[in-house]
Amino acid sequence: MRSFILKSLLSRVELQREKLKDYRNIVMVQIIIVVFGLVLSEPLIEDSKSEVSKFIISIFSFFGAAYAFMLWDLLRNFTKSRVLVIIFLGILSGIVVTGILVEFPYYQLIHVTNRQAYLLTIHGLLFPIEITVIGFSLRDIFEGEFMTSDKIWGAACIFIMIGISFGSLYDLITIARPGSLGQNFELGLPNYSECVTYSFSILGGIDPGLTPSRLIRNISVIEAVWGGLYGMLIIGKLLGLPRAENEK
Protein backbone atom coordinates (compact mmCIF):
# COMPACT_ATOMS: atom_id res chain seq x y z
CA MET A 1 0.00 0.00 0.00
CA ARG A 2 2.81 2.38 0.92
CA SER A 3 4.70 1.60 -2.29
CA PHE A 4 1.54 2.30 -4.30
CA ILE A 5 1.14 5.72 -2.60
CA LEU A 6 4.79 6.57 -3.25
CA LYS A 7 4.44 5.52 -6.88
CA SER A 8 1.33 7.67 -7.31
CA LEU A 9 3.09 10.63 -5.70
CA LEU A 10 6.07 10.20 -7.98
CA SER A 11 3.91 10.09 -11.09
CA ARG A 12 2.09 13.22 -9.93
CA VAL A 13 5.37 15.07 -9.44
CA GLU A 14 6.61 13.91 -12.83
CA LEU A 15 3.35 15.08 -14.41
CA GLN A 16 3.76 18.51 -12.81
CA ARG A 17 7.28 18.75 -14.21
CA GLU A 18 6.06 17.74 -17.66
CA LYS A 19 3.27 20.32 -17.56
CA LEU A 20 5.72 22.96 -16.34
CA LYS A 21 8.00 22.24 -19.29
CA ASP A 22 5.12 22.24 -21.77
CA TYR A 23 3.55 25.44 -20.41
CA ARG A 24 6.90 27.21 -20.41
CA ASN A 25 7.74 26.16 -23.97
CA ILE A 26 4.32 27.22 -25.25
CA VAL A 27 4.61 30.63 -23.57
CA MET A 28 7.96 31.21 -25.26
CA VAL A 29 6.54 30.35 -28.69
CA GLN A 30 3.37 32.36 -28.00
CA ILE A 31 5.46 35.44 -27.24
CA ILE A 32 7.38 35.03 -30.48
CA ILE A 33 4.16 34.60 -32.50
CA VAL A 34 2.51 37.63 -30.87
CA VAL A 35 5.62 39.79 -31.36
CA PHE A 36 5.70 38.80 -35.03
CA GLY A 37 2.02 39.66 -35.35
CA LEU A 38 2.32 43.02 -33.60
CA VAL A 39 5.69 44.29 -34.80
CA LEU A 40 6.29 42.79 -38.23
CA SER A 41 2.84 43.12 -39.76
CA GLU A 42 3.56 46.35 -41.66
CA PRO A 43 5.69 44.76 -44.44
CA LEU A 44 3.02 42.08 -44.89
CA ILE A 45 0.24 44.63 -45.29
CA GLU A 46 2.25 46.84 -47.65
CA ASP A 47 3.41 44.03 -49.93
CA SER A 48 3.00 40.38 -48.95
CA LYS A 49 5.04 39.31 -52.02
CA SER A 50 8.20 41.22 -51.12
CA GLU A 51 11.35 39.39 -50.06
CA VAL A 52 11.03 40.72 -46.51
CA SER A 53 7.44 39.50 -46.31
CA LYS A 54 8.41 36.09 -47.65
CA PHE A 55 11.06 35.78 -44.95
CA ILE A 56 8.59 36.83 -42.26
CA ILE A 57 6.01 34.31 -43.51
CA SER A 58 8.63 31.55 -43.50
CA ILE A 59 9.68 32.26 -39.91
CA PHE A 60 6.07 32.64 -38.78
CA SER A 61 5.14 29.33 -40.43
CA PHE A 62 7.92 27.54 -38.56
CA PHE A 63 6.80 28.83 -35.17
CA GLY A 64 3.16 28.26 -36.10
CA ALA A 65 3.91 24.60 -36.81
CA ALA A 66 5.84 24.32 -33.53
CA TYR A 67 2.92 25.92 -31.67
CA ALA A 68 0.45 23.45 -33.16
CA PHE A 69 2.57 20.50 -32.03
CA MET A 70 2.98 22.00 -28.54
CA LEU A 71 -0.78 22.37 -28.19
CA TRP A 72 -1.15 18.67 -28.92
CA ASP A 73 1.70 17.78 -26.57
CA LEU A 74 0.08 19.82 -23.79
CA LEU A 75 -3.27 18.18 -24.40
CA ARG A 76 -1.77 14.75 -23.69
CA ASN A 77 -1.20 15.83 -20.07
CA PHE A 78 -4.92 16.38 -19.52
CA THR A 79 -6.71 13.39 -21.02
CA LYS A 80 -6.28 9.64 -21.21
CA SER A 81 -8.53 9.39 -24.26
CA ARG A 82 -6.34 7.99 -27.04
CA VAL A 83 -9.11 8.70 -29.55
CA LEU A 84 -9.15 12.42 -28.72
CA VAL A 85 -5.35 12.64 -28.78
CA ILE A 86 -5.12 10.83 -32.15
CA ILE A 87 -7.92 12.93 -33.69
CA PHE A 88 -6.28 16.19 -32.61
CA LEU A 89 -2.89 15.00 -33.83
CA GLY A 90 -4.39 14.14 -37.22
CA ILE A 91 -6.17 17.50 -37.52
CA LEU A 92 -3.14 19.54 -36.47
CA SER A 93 -0.82 17.54 -38.73
CA GLY A 94 -3.21 18.10 -41.64
CA ILE A 95 -3.38 21.83 -40.91
CA VAL A 96 0.42 22.17 -40.72
CA VAL A 97 1.15 20.11 -43.85
CA THR A 98 -1.59 21.77 -45.91
CA GLY A 99 -0.55 25.22 -44.71
CA ILE A 100 3.07 24.63 -45.72
CA LEU A 101 2.12 23.29 -49.14
CA VAL A 102 -0.26 26.17 -49.86
CA GLU A 103 1.38 29.11 -48.06
CA PHE A 104 5.08 28.42 -48.71
CA PRO A 105 6.19 31.87 -49.91
CA TYR A 106 9.04 30.91 -52.24
CA TYR A 107 7.28 28.20 -54.19
CA GLN A 108 3.58 27.38 -54.06
CA LEU A 109 3.32 23.59 -54.14
CA ILE A 110 -0.50 23.51 -54.12
CA HIS A 111 -2.66 26.13 -55.80
CA VAL A 112 -6.01 26.78 -54.12
CA THR A 113 -8.75 28.18 -56.35
CA ASN A 114 -11.10 29.19 -53.52
CA ARG A 115 -8.79 30.76 -50.94
CA GLN A 116 -11.66 31.97 -48.78
CA ALA A 117 -13.06 28.45 -48.33
CA TYR A 118 -9.57 27.08 -47.69
CA LEU A 119 -8.84 29.60 -44.94
CA LEU A 120 -12.26 29.10 -43.37
CA THR A 121 -11.60 25.36 -43.20
CA ILE A 122 -8.10 25.74 -41.70
CA HIS A 123 -9.10 28.25 -39.04
CA GLY A 124 -12.44 26.54 -38.46
CA LEU A 125 -10.55 23.38 -37.48
CA LEU A 126 -7.88 25.16 -35.43
CA PHE A 127 -10.18 27.37 -33.34
CA PRO A 128 -12.06 24.49 -31.57
CA ILE A 129 -8.73 22.87 -30.71
CA GLU A 130 -7.52 26.10 -29.10
CA ILE A 131 -10.75 26.36 -27.10
CA THR A 132 -10.46 22.72 -26.00
CA VAL A 133 -6.88 23.18 -24.79
CA ILE A 134 -7.90 26.37 -22.95
CA GLY A 135 -10.72 24.46 -21.24
CA PHE A 136 -8.44 21.63 -20.10
CA SER A 137 -5.78 24.12 -18.97
CA LEU A 138 -8.31 26.13 -16.95
CA ARG A 139 -9.44 23.00 -15.18
CA ASP A 140 -5.83 22.11 -14.45
CA ILE A 141 -5.05 25.58 -13.06
CA PHE A 142 -8.03 25.63 -10.70
CA GLU A 143 -7.45 22.09 -9.42
CA GLY A 144 -5.02 21.17 -6.67
CA GLU A 145 -4.34 22.34 -3.14
CA PHE A 146 -0.93 23.96 -3.64
CA MET A 147 0.51 26.74 -5.78
CA THR A 148 3.15 25.24 -8.04
CA SER A 149 5.32 26.64 -10.82
CA ASP A 150 3.32 24.85 -13.49
CA LYS A 151 0.19 26.76 -12.40
CA ILE A 152 1.99 30.10 -12.75
CA TRP A 153 3.22 29.28 -16.24
CA GLY A 154 -0.17 27.76 -17.07
CA ALA A 155 -1.93 30.99 -16.09
CA ALA A 156 0.37 32.97 -18.40
CA CYS A 157 -0.13 30.41 -21.18
CA ILE A 158 -3.92 30.62 -20.94
CA PHE A 159 -3.95 34.44 -20.96
CA ILE A 160 -1.86 34.64 -24.12
CA MET A 161 -3.87 31.79 -25.66
CA ILE A 162 -7.07 33.74 -25.01
CA GLY A 163 -5.70 36.64 -27.06
CA ILE A 164 -4.56 34.34 -29.86
CA SER A 165 -7.81 32.35 -29.95
CA PHE A 166 -9.96 35.50 -30.07
CA GLY A 167 -7.66 36.69 -32.85
CA SER A 168 -8.44 33.44 -34.69
CA LEU A 169 -12.15 34.04 -34.17
CA TYR A 170 -11.92 37.57 -35.57
CA ASP A 171 -9.93 36.16 -38.47
CA LEU A 172 -12.70 33.63 -39.15
CA ILE A 173 -15.30 36.40 -39.18
CA THR A 174 -13.28 38.65 -41.48
CA ILE A 175 -12.62 35.75 -43.86
CA ALA A 176 -16.35 35.04 -44.07
CA ARG A 177 -17.21 38.74 -44.21
CA PRO A 178 -14.22 40.76 -45.51
CA GLY A 179 -13.97 44.25 -44.10
CA SER A 180 -15.61 43.34 -40.78
CA LEU A 181 -12.57 44.61 -38.89
CA GLY A 182 -13.08 48.09 -40.31
CA GLN A 183 -10.56 47.75 -43.14
CA ASN A 184 -9.92 45.30 -45.94
CA PHE A 185 -6.72 43.34 -45.39
CA GLU A 186 -5.27 40.66 -47.63
CA LEU A 187 -6.53 37.25 -46.54
CA GLY A 188 -3.93 35.07 -44.93
CA LEU A 189 -1.15 36.16 -42.60
CA PRO A 190 -1.67 39.94 -43.15
CA ASN A 191 -5.31 39.69 -42.06
CA TYR A 192 -4.50 37.27 -39.23
CA SER A 193 -1.78 39.52 -37.82
CA GLU A 194 -4.19 42.46 -37.74
CA CYS A 195 -6.80 40.32 -36.00
CA VAL A 196 -4.26 39.26 -33.36
CA THR A 197 -3.22 42.89 -32.92
CA TYR A 198 -6.85 43.89 -32.47
CA SER A 199 -7.45 41.06 -29.98
CA PHE A 200 -4.53 42.00 -27.73
CA SER A 201 -5.50 45.66 -27.94
CA ILE A 202 -8.89 44.69 -26.50
CA LEU A 203 -7.28 42.55 -23.78
CA GLY A 204 -4.85 45.32 -22.91
CA GLY A 205 -7.52 48.02 -22.80
CA ILE A 206 -5.94 49.90 -25.72
CA ASP A 207 -7.92 51.60 -28.46
CA PRO A 208 -7.25 49.51 -31.60
CA GLY A 209 -8.09 52.46 -33.84
CA LEU A 210 -10.53 50.48 -35.97
CA THR A 211 -14.30 50.59 -36.42
CA PRO A 212 -15.29 46.92 -36.70
CA SER A 213 -18.70 45.48 -37.48
CA ARG A 214 -21.30 45.16 -34.75
CA LEU A 215 -20.59 41.42 -34.43
CA ILE A 216 -16.87 41.89 -33.83
CA ARG A 217 -17.53 44.84 -31.53
CA ASN A 218 -19.87 42.75 -29.38
CA ILE A 219 -17.43 39.83 -29.27
CA SER A 220 -14.74 42.33 -28.27
CA VAL A 221 -16.82 43.27 -25.23
CA ILE A 222 -17.02 39.59 -24.28
CA GLU A 223 -13.25 39.26 -24.66
CA ALA A 224 -12.57 42.35 -22.53
CA VAL A 225 -14.92 41.19 -19.76
CA TRP A 226 -13.58 37.64 -19.88
CA GLY A 227 -9.98 38.87 -19.76
CA GLY A 228 -10.65 41.01 -16.70
CA LEU A 229 -12.62 38.28 -14.96
CA TYR A 230 -9.91 35.73 -15.70
CA GLY A 231 -7.29 37.99 -14.16
CA MET A 232 -9.29 38.40 -10.95
CA LEU A 233 -10.03 34.68 -10.68
CA ILE A 234 -6.42 33.67 -11.26
CA ILE A 235 -5.06 36.17 -8.73
CA GLY A 236 -7.62 35.09 -6.15
CA LYS A 237 -6.98 31.41 -6.75
CA LEU A 238 -3.18 31.37 -6.87
CA LEU A 239 -2.64 33.82 -4.01
CA GLY A 240 -5.01 31.79 -1.86
CA LEU A 241 -3.03 28.57 -2.28
CA PRO A 242 -0.11 27.58 -0.04
CA ARG A 243 3.12 26.89 -1.88
CA ALA A 244 4.15 23.24 -2.14
CA GLU A 245 7.10 22.66 0.19
CA ASN A 246 8.51 19.79 -1.84
CA GLU A 247 8.50 21.64 -5.17
CA LYS A 248 11.91 22.07 -6.74
Q: Please write the tens of the pLDDT for every residue from 142-169.
A: 776 666 778 888 888 999 999 999 999 9
Q: Where are the domains of the chain?
A: 20-239
What is the rounded average pLDDT of the residues 42-53? 84
User: What pLDDT is stored for residue 3 in this prediction?
Assistant: 42
Instruction: Supply the mean pLDDT for the chain.
Output: 83
CB within 8 Å of 141: residues ≥ 6 apart: 151, 154, 155, 158, 234, 237
Q: How confident is the model at residue 102 (pLDDT cuts 50, 70, 90)?
A: confident
Bridge partners, 243 (sequence order):
147
Q: How confident is the model at residue 213 (pLDDT cuts 50, 70, 90)?
A: very high
User: What pLDDT is stored for residue 199 in this prediction?
Assistant: 92
Q: How confident is the model at residue 238 (pLDDT cuts 50, 70, 90)?
A: low
User: What pLDDT is stored for residue 2 in this prediction?
Assistant: 42
Q: How confident is the model at residue 241 (pLDDT cuts 50, 70, 90)?
A: low
Listed residue (165, 161, 173, 141) closest to 240, CA to CA? 141
Q: How confident is the model at residue 200 (pLDDT cuts 50, 70, 90)?
A: very high
User: What pLDDT is stored for residue 47 in this prediction?
Assistant: 83
**CA angle, residues 233, 222, 70, in degrees to nearest 5:** 65
What is the rounded average pLDDT of the residues 115-136? 89
Q: What is the pLDDT of residues 3-45, one digit of tens each?
A: 434 334 446 677 778 888 888 889 998 888 888 777 878 888 8
What is the rounded average pLDDT of the residues 81-108? 86
Helix axes 214-239, 189-203, angle to 10 degrees: 50
Q: How confident is the model at residue 218 (pLDDT cuts 50, 70, 90)?
A: very high
3-state helix vs strand vs coil in the chain, percent to 5: 75, 0, 25
